Amino acid sequence: MKKLFLVISFFAASLSVSAFAAGGPAIELEKAQNNLRDQDSLQRGAVLFSNYCMACHSVKYMRYNRIARDIGWTDEEVIAQMTFGQNKSVDEVHTRMLDGVAMDVLGSSPPDLSLMARLKGPDYIYTFLRAYHQDEQGNWDNTVLKGTSMPNVLEGMQRHAAPDEYAQAARDITNFLEYVGEPAKLERYDLGWKVIAFLLLLLLLTYLLKREYWRDIKH
Ligand code: HEC
């Protein structure tokens, strides 16, 4: 018994240590409050992503026609909205930047963003996009990723749009990137409820069966 207790406390201790180690950035992240079921937001996010991010970033594990199907566009619409007619709907979503240019201009390569929302979480992306600020000399920095080589691409919006609009744009882009990170997430959630409902029904049936079996037996 003592041994068992020791083993359990050892595992509990190592779990809490690893949870601590995976603690992430020191600053507090804002809640993105995005909604994967909001197709208007996903469509706006896709357009914003195309206008503001695809100059440097790809989401190369996605194809345009899959995006169209999932967020409520036809194949023609996705091509018109995201690539100005430049691509085929079966194409993967590549950056418009030529190979190597980013390295020369920015000093680093913009990462592919297909899995970024799964790696860092939607709240991180939302906060990161909104965390650019300018010091007295006019130099930009980002409180989430200090010294980042990514410029403040939403600067125009940050300056000129109403705070709500700016927040909504960042939320829409985040929503789109969370969707891209796991296109079948909603199917998974919906299937999950069905499985649980099925298991509850099965529980009821097995319970009734058990009562039936034991009905005439004294116990
Ligand atoms: C001018 C090129 C450029 C554009 C446009 C651009 N990015 Fe970036 N982005 C970069 C570079 C370069 C990095 C790598 C930054 C670093 O490691 O410091 C990066 C990194 C990132 C990261 C990862 C941050 C991290 O913690 O590692 C995210 C998320 C991101 N970009 C999102 C976006 C989104 C969303 C847009 C559009 C609104 C966008 N980027 C537009 C160049 C760009």
The answer on pLDDT for 194 being more than 70 is yes
Burial label, 163 (beta-carbon count in 10 A; 0-12, 13-18, 19+): exposed
Q: Which residue has the higher pLDDT, 5 or 98?
A: 98
Q: How far apart are CA 90 and CA 73, in angstroms?
A: 14
Is 53 marked as binding a ligand? yes
Centroid of ligand 1 to alpha carbon of 153 (angstroms) = 9
Question: Which among 205, 212, 113 has a CA at the least distance from the CA of 153?
Answer: 113
Which residue's CA is minimally distant from atom 36 of ligand 1?
53
112: Cβ–Cβ under 8 A, 6 or more apart, which residues? 57, 58, 59, 60, 61
Domain parsing of the chain, residue ranges: 27-184
Residue 219 annotated as binding site: no
Q: Give per-residue pLDDT as tens, 145-157.
A: 999 999 999 999 9
Cβ atoms of 41 and 172 within 8 Å: the answer is yes
- pLDDT per position as a tens digit, 10-47: 556 655 554 444 555 568 999 999 999 999 999 999 99
Average pLDDT for 113-137: 96
CATH match of 27-184 with 1.10.760.10: yes
Tokens of 47: 């357009």
* DSSP run (H or E) holding 133: strand 132-134
200 vs 107, residue with greater confidence: 200
- Which residue do the tokens 């000129």 mark? 160
What is the average pLDDT across 120-126?
98
Give the range among 4-8, 24-28, 134-138 with minimum mean pLDDT.
4-8
Q: Cβ contacts of residue 4 below 8 Å, gap of 6+? A: none
pLDDT at 21: 47
- The predicted structure's pLDDT at residue 107: 83
Mean residue pLDDT across the chain: 90
The atom number, within ligand 1, closest to the CA of 108 reads 12
C-alpha 49 to ligand 1 mean position (Å): 11
162: pLDDT strictly greater than 80: yes
What's the rounded Cα separation, in Å, for the pair 199 and 208?
A: 14
Predicted confidence at residue 27, as pLDDT, reads: 82
Query: 150 C-alpha to center of ligand 1: Å?
Result: 5
Ligand 1 centre distance from Cα of residue 159 (Å): 19
Instruction: State pTM to two decimals.
Output: 0.85
pLDDT in tens, 56-79: 999 999 999 999 999 999 999 999
Going from the Cα of 206 to the center of ligand 1, the distance in angstroms, rounded, reads: 54
Instruction: Give me the pLDDT at residue 106, please.
Output: 82
Q: Kindly indicate the confidence band of residue 99, based on its pLDDT and cuts at 50, 70 and 90.
A: confident
Q: Give the binding-site residues of ligand 1, using a 6 Å CB cut-off.
A: 52-53, 55-57, 102, 106, 108, 110-111, 113, 116, 120, 125, 128-129, 145, 148-151, 153-154, 173
